[in-house]
């Protein structure tokens, strides 16, 4: 555990395991988290658990100990970041059919998946001619940051990954290293590649976060998109760069926003000065919209907009 003296921590974790009573367990786990006083988002499915939570070091230590004491979750690994304030406003614990929706219900990471490699091994391999880095995250994440020379996929969410694989046929005889934020998507992505004829598949253990902890983040360009109130975090402590450009003025930026117009809610990159001028909106049209939220200075809104949820359900 980190010895940092920051007053709060963020824990990111996932664990594929059988949880037959996941829907009922989610109800009890929510009550437990509320009593403990932590905040964040936790998803439970019959295939396991996936969470990002925030609390004091004492609260986080208790949570880690208690979760590991459950035989179903023994061995879960937590990625710990010190922060100066909680990264969420409240706690959500929800049951889902899949931890990360992909439609790959027949893929069981506990049965077969890519070979796990740590950050140091990945760093050595990624510069070899027969090795390719494959980013399996969404396009709004890769716009903000990615590994140098990595292959990125223009997909809005992970459920599009199976269709994207048909465009990767030329990589079947290469060594393919898959990576994502913390590792959870790579478990299924690497397994799916193996089932579709890819011969030598690896996954970056604990994802970009694990790589940064092992190596200092060398050759990761830009910043890392995270799914909490921080929105993005610096990863590369060795040779950092910015690759995202402000939608309005084109200057390099590390900022990602959701449009303040509720009925739009698109994600985009914009520098602080332009975001203030545009009131957190992606266009002049959105600035005039009736459903515009008050810009909060970050572009991260903890409660999903109702209008956008209805739009996505159509």
Known catalytic residues are: 180
Q: Which of 119, 85, 106 is nearest to 238 (CA)?
A: 119
Cα angle, residue 276 at apex, residues 302 and 90 outer, rounded to 5°: 15
Of the CA atoms within 13 Å of residue 85, those in its CB half-sphere come to 6
Q: What is the C-alpha to C-alpha distance for residues 104 and 101, in angstroms, rounded to an integer? A: 8
**Best CA proximity match to 136, nearest among 205, 99, 184:** 184
Structure tokens at 181: 């934020």
* Strand order, beta sheet including 175-179: 115-117, 200-204, 175-179, 131-135
**Hey, what are 92's tokens?**
């959500």
Question: Alpha-carbon Rg of the chain, whole angstroms?
Answer: 20
């Amino acid at each position: 555990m980190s010895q940092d003296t920051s007053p709060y921590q963020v824990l990111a974790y996932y664990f594929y395991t059988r949880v037959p009573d996941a829907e009922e367990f989610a109800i009890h786990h929510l009550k437990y988290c509320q009593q403990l006083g932590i905040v964040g988002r936790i998803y439970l499915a019959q295939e396991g658990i996936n969470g990002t939570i925030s609390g004091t070091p004492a609260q986080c230590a208790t949570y880690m100990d208690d979760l590991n004491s459950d035989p179903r979750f023994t061995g879960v690994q937590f990625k710990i970041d010190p922060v100066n304030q909680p990264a969420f406003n409240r706690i959500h614990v929800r049951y889902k059919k899949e931890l990360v929706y992909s439609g790959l219900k027949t893929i069981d990471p506990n049965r077969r998946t890519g070979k796990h490699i740590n950050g140091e091994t990945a760093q050595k391999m990624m510069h070899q001619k027969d090795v390719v880095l494959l980013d399996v995250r969404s396009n709004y994440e890769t716009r903000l940051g990615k590994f140098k020379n990595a292959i990125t996929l223009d997909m809005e969410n992970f459920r599009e990954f199976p269709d994207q694989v048909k465009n990767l046929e030329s990589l079947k005889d290469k060594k393919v290293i898959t990576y994502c934020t913390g590792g959870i998507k790579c478990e299924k992505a690497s397994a799916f590649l193996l089932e579709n004829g890819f011969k030598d598949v690896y996954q970056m253990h604990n994802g970009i976060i694990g790589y940064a902890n092992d190596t200092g983040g060398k050759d990761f360009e830009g910043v890392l998109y995270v799914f909490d109130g921080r929105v993005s975090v610096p990863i590369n402590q060795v040779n950092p760069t910015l690759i995202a450009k402000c939608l309005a003025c084109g200057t390099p930026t590390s900022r990602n926003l959701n449009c303040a117009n509720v009925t739009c809610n698109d994600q985009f990159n914009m520098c602080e000065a332009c975001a203030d001028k545009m009131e957190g909106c992606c266009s002049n049209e959105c600035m005039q919209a009736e459903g515009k939220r008050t810009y909060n200075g970050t572009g991260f809104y903890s409660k999903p907009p109702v209008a956008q949820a209805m739009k996505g359900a159509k």
